[in-house]
Amino acid sequence: MFSLIVMGKMLKNRILAGTILLILFLCTIHTTVAGSNAISTEITSSYKLVPDEGIVKVSKEITFFNNDTGTKFWRGYYSNYNYYLPEGAMNIEAYDNENPMACTRSPDGYYVFYFNQKVWYEESYTFHIDYELEINRNTAVFSLSEYGDNIEVTLEVPSDFDTYIGREDYKIEEKMYSSIYKFEKGQKWDKSYVVNSVRVSPRQILTGTASLQERNVDIEVRYWEGEEQWAQDVMSTTVESLTLLEEKWGFAYPADYNITITQANITETGGYGGYNEGRNGIWLLYTSNHGILIHELAHYWTRACNFDQLWMDEGYADLYTYIVMSETEPEEAVSRRDRFFEKYESLKDEHDFPLSDWSTPQSIDHSTEERVDFGYKKAFALTFTLYDTMGIDTLQAMNQKFINYGDDIDNSDYLTIVNSVSSQDTSFIETYLYA
């Protein structure tokens, strides 16, 4: 008789073992578990950005090795391979050198690829998986999703695209019309890595107006061709958020100029999600979400508050992002808040420092991003705790004192103002600032 036995445990971040057929005698049932070195894979992956077709073409050659001693002496074989493909993968095809292969998607999200032959002990099987990812004509955001034991990856993008990859251990080859990024075999792939790639082209302009408390503010959104949907979304979010920011801060839009928002690449934002340059407008990374846009809009108010300390400027911008999104996208506001607190706790042991000592570089790289990120999250933790403890009315009373303060507000001035409008215990503030 034959029985289907699943070899190994299903793990999202590694290859999932295929199915083994085991010959059983005398009706005795045995469960065999594959060891960590029982099966292995070699994978060669190529990603090619094809902007005129609006896709990334992905091709993988996978060689599956069966070294599972539980299948020795013709006691069994592997017949399928389980693998995660990124969300949005389309036009999926699987085949070996001769025939197409069947595949199904499991309820747990991974794909099961069925071999066209039995893979017995010390045998191997090579097959291919092709799929496509959708992108925009001038902007591409996708992941290098790799799970295996020995992986080689190449990424080819047109030479007129500015590309940023979430890891830097690659070699680059420049050709006449393209750039090829190469990750050699032996490098570790323990997660997916995001690729941001953009073709800088003349920007188009969308105009609108926000009718605010004291005047109408003209808004100009500058965007690349093919990004009209992005521009419309930015415009509607900006108009709605400006009205709410006035209401929640307790004073009108403070700047004496209109607002320009420019769709930007990661070089133009210095690695940040966005950057507010005052009269020169907001530079917004083309992948940025509503939270980052609202954060940059909130800086028009933080800069009117005479804040001298970075934590005040950034902490209040993130706090009022949360407050605004609690009205417009309440579920996302809670999710964002929780992510911030989780990141704050996860980075605390390695990167903690007093907020009074916090500063940020002009641009972020891999060596500075965690410290910068921790500073933002700690500043938010402080301002949110203040809001949660004292409420919006007390914050608005403080805001009025901030905007009417004659000099720049340092940490000592800040504590004096807080204590002047609230009789509650504020010792937790000093813990964030000096501990």
| Band of pLDDT at residue 37, cut at 50, 70 and 90 | low
Closest CA to 435 of 376, 313, 348, 346: 348
At 381-396, the pLDDT tens digits run 999 999 999 999 999 9
At 336-362, the pLDDT tens digits run 999 999 999 999 999 999 999 999 998
Q: Where are the alpha helices (DSSP H) in 329-368?
A: 330-351
Mean pLDDT value across the chain: 90
Flag whether pLDDT at 6 surpasses 70.
Answer: no
19: number of Cβ within 10 Å? 18
Q: Give the CA diameter of the chain.
A: 92
pLDDT value at residue 237: 98
Closest CA to 178 of 82, 77, 51: 51
| Cα–Cα distance measured from residue 419 to residue 369, given in angstroms and rounded to the nearest whole number | 34
At 182-241, the pLDDT tens digits run 999 989 998 889 999 999 888 999 999 999 999 999 999 999 988 999 999 999 999 999
pTM of the predicted protein model: 0.79
Burial (CB count within 10 angstroms: exposed 0-12, middle 13-18, buried 19+), residue 287: middle
pLDDT value at residue 405: 96
| Band of pLDDT at residue 80, cut at 50, 70 and 90 | very high
Axis crossing angle, helix 228-249 with helix 290-302, rounded to the nearest 10: 40
Residue 182 backbone class (left: φ over 0; alpha: ψ -120 to 50; beta: rest): beta
Spatial contact of 51 and 158, defined as CB atoms under 8 Å apart: yes
| Cα–Cα distance measured from residue 160 to residue 156, given in angstroms and rounded to the nearest whole number | 12
Question: pLDDT higher for 371 or 13?
Answer: 371
The domains found in the chain, sorted by start residue, are 2-199 (2.60.40), 203-434 (1.10.390.10)
Flag whether pLDDT at 299 surpasses 90.
Answer: yes
pLDDT value at residue 367: 81
| Band of pLDDT at residue 98, cut at 50, 70 and 90 | confident
pLDDT value at residue 7: 33
Flag whether pLDDT at 9 surpasses 50.
Answer: no
Flag whether pLDDT at 177 surpasses 90.
Answer: yes
Q: Mean pLDDT over residues 17-34, rounded? A: 32
| Exposure letters 171-191 (e unless 16+ CB within 10 A, then b) | eeeeeeeebbbebeeeeebee
* Interacting residues of 159 by C-beta distance below 8 A, sequence separation 6+: 174, 175, 176, 177, 178, 179
pLDDT value at residue 32: 34
The letter for the amino acid at 239 is V
Flag whether pLDDT at 23 surpasses 80.
Answer: no
* Interacting residues of 213 by C-beta distance below 8 A, sequence separation 6+: 246, 252, 253
